[in-house]
Chain A
């Protein structure tokens, strides 16, 4: 251990010892550690202020009987907002609380359903877009910029715009579909329980496919050109090249893009709130929380929903990362 001296770069061994949890001995590594913390401190502080504190506060409120008009005077009630058994006597009773609220579980189901389907479609479409945008053709720069327009429009605006396009009487969508003879009578896109969720998914796909395409395109541009040249010389079929060369190489980019999108999709609020307000078929977890927080004067209950929403998203994300990593590791060996 004495071979680690001040001024000498830490050896493999020393670093390993450090990783294993041994106390760093050298001044340099101590200094490095200090400066690392120093550089990280502002970010950690800001994160604690804008993310950590509100989160803790929300969890606290979910354990109280807070209402919007009485936030300060809230009393601690334990887990009553999540789980409560009310005994009516004579062996009769009923469970209350978020965990026994079918409307909450309906919102969870809606959100997961929406997220899985929309992110899956967006990933496939985004990949196709990225491949097209990666190819050489005239006016590529213009097309690349044009594709981004839906992503640049605020969600509220695009949701309202689509709501008019999907209007059953005056909407252009029905008009076009009827003109080419696909449907014979207008469809009430946002009102019909069978199509409401699909209306939301269509708008979301329209809006966020460019985002996926952009992230995947960045991945595609990292793939060195000589790989393709080698494949070409070997006379390998382009489809095989795509599955055996391109896809494995841009896999990390796709995985990152999917996780970004999935996090966004699981928190979806504005699109659903504007396009299909109050529809039980499309109500997401965030909409459920907002409704309880602000419409129903059940701030504590809404906070409990927000806390569970956080936990659900955290769980899904951790699960996804774990699965994706395992896969990546297996591929290397």
Chain B
């Protein structure tokens, strides 16, 4: 009897250790551009190195869609997903569902940009580890600007004029599909970024100040949104009101836009062999309002380990691998995703492969964060109210001043005495 019991314990031990050394992990990430195939490559390397296997659960590109699904899974204690790729704005809202990484990844965190680590830390808990950061660029067609003797615009006014002139002349020349400017105008998180950039670069503040005061209802902000409203139907197609990143890139990369506002991932793709604008474009920091300063919305994606995961140790190892300097460098070189390790901006290999990355160190440094920290768990609703007000103004339902006035009232109702 004893022998048999011992054998059973032994067998169980062998089985268990076998399971512990080669675990099956699942990582969930939104799919945009070449992100998934790039991720797969890195995961293959991780699998070889660690012996674990990692499956990718692919999600839609819209961060808003992803968030709803993740919240549902996490609140149901889903054990099927171990690692979540999280947006920079989610940390305060999902903090309670993720493992604290500040202990296990303390060494690695020191190499990262402290402000990014800060943005992912909630009450001393490192909710997610940075994978890459994001700060948008103004893409412009060098061939068209040269043809009409124009300089890359420094202000929105210049952009409007240049875009109008080139678009009209190109259309006269028979290029009827040409548009002046494409951006992200659909009602979703991306429009909060675009809108924040217009407003912040015009001296209109950041919707909600870092102290939590609602600052959105001001003439500078209204002026910026009125300006953007003037683009729809003139230099931007009407459909821009339903464009997200990939729709705008679709118009741009088929050669049908003079300017585009987009994240650096589009740089690598626009230089791909199937791109109609390959070698015919360059990037510049976003324009500013009159007397304002260019403002880039701070984006970026991070990796978080679910506290419901059955393989937390392996999952943390995976996060460490994907957030490492080596993986970030690879990602920067292949897909122009901006690293969160500051040294990589001086890396000569990256500068050669993706010049935008080397040039973007300063833009990242000065990027404007969305008000996700001061508005805490209510950020998503604040953001929705903001993008709704902007989208309604752009589509011609009410003036910017009226809609911002309404927005302020709604935000005040949301906040009541304090954000929670």
Q: Does B239 contact A (CB under 8 A)?
A: yes
Q: Mark B71-111, 1 if CB is under 8 A from A, else 0.
A: 11001000000000000000001001100000000000000
Contacts of A94 in B (CB 8 A): 413
Given A69-B96, A193-B395, verify A277-B378 contact (CB < 8 Å). no
For A167, A290, A291, A294, the residue with the greatest tally of chain B CB atoms inside 10 Å of its CB is A294
Q: Is the CB of A191 within 8 A of B64?
A: no
Contact of B240 among A191, A193, A278 (CB under 8 A): A191
Q: Mark A171-199, 1 if CB is under 8 A from B, else 0.
A: 00000000000000011101111000000
Q: Is the CB of B71 within 8 A of A295?
A: yes
Contact of A297 among B93, B387, B413 (CB under 8 A): B93
Contacts of A294 in B (CB 8 A): 68, 71-72
Contacts of B27 in A (CB 8 A): none
Complex interface residues of chain B between 117 and 173 (CB less than 8 A to chain A): none
Q: Is the CB of A188 within 8 A of B388?
A: no
Given A193-B396, A278-B64, A278-B387, verify A86-B241 contact (CB < 8 Å). no
| Residue in A closest to B239 when the chains form the complex, CB atoms | A168
Interface, chain A (partner B; CB < 8 A):
68-69, 71, 86, 94, 96, 167-170, 186-188, 190-193, 276-280, 290-291, 294-298
Q: What distance in Å separates the Cβ of A101 from its nearest Cβ neighbour in chain B? A: 9
- Closest 10 interchain pairs by CB? A168-B239, A191-B242, A188-B239, A191-B241, A278-B187, A68-B75, A188-B238, A294-B68, A296-B381, A193-B395
Q: Is the CB of A296 within 8 A of B378?
A: yes
| Residue in B closest to A193 when the chains form the complex, CB atoms | B395
Given A68-B71, A192-B395, verify A295-B384 contact (CB < 8 Å). yes
Contacts of B416 in A (CB 8 A): 86
Contacts of B377 in A (CB 8 A): 297
Q: Is the CB of B238 within 8 A of A168?
A: yes
Complex-state Cα separation, A70 to B230, whole angstroms: 45
Q: What distance in Å separates the Cβ of B240 from its nearest Cβ neighbour in chain A? A: 7
Q: Does B250 contact A (CB under 8 A)?
A: yes
Contact of B388 among A86, A96, A280 (CB under 8 A): A280
Q: Is the CB of A188 within 8 A of B237?
A: yes
Q: What distance in Å separates the Cβ of A162 from its nearest Cβ neighbour in chain B? A: 13
11 CB-based A-B contacts, threshold 8 Å: A69-B96, A186-B237, A191-B185, A192-B238, A193-B392, A278-B188, A294-B68, A295-B380, A296-B381, A297-B377, A297-B380
Q: Does B186 contact A (CB under 8 A)?
A: yes
Contact of B186 among A68, A193, A278 (CB under 8 A): A278
Contacts of A69 in B (CB 8 A): 75, 96-97
Complex-state Cα separation, A52 to B384, whole angstroms: 33
Q: Does B397 contact A (CB under 8 A)?
A: yes
| Residue in B closest to A280 when the chains form the complex, CB atoms | B388
For A86, A280, A295, the residue with the greatest tally of chain B CB atoms inside 10 Å of its CB is A295
Q: Is the CB of B67 within 8 A of A295?
A: yes
Q: Is the CB of A188 within 8 A of B242?
A: yes
Complex-state Cα separation, A117 to B387, whole angstroms: 29
For A168, A191, A192, A193, the residue with the greatest tally of chain B CB atoms inside 10 Å of its CB is A191
Given A280-B392, A296-B378, verify A169-B68 contact (CB < 8 Å). no
Q: What distance in Å separates the Cβ of A31 from its nearest Cβ neighbour in chain B? A: 46
Q: Is the CB of A277 within 8 A of B380?
A: no
Q: Is the CB of A170 within 8 A of B250?
A: yes
Complex-state Cα separation, A169 to B188, whole angstroms: 20
Q: Is the CB of B241 within 8 A of A192?
A: yes
Given A69-B96, A69-B97, A277-B188, verify A191-B256 contact (CB < 8 Å). no
Contact of A191 among B65, B67, B239, B387 (CB under 8 A): B239
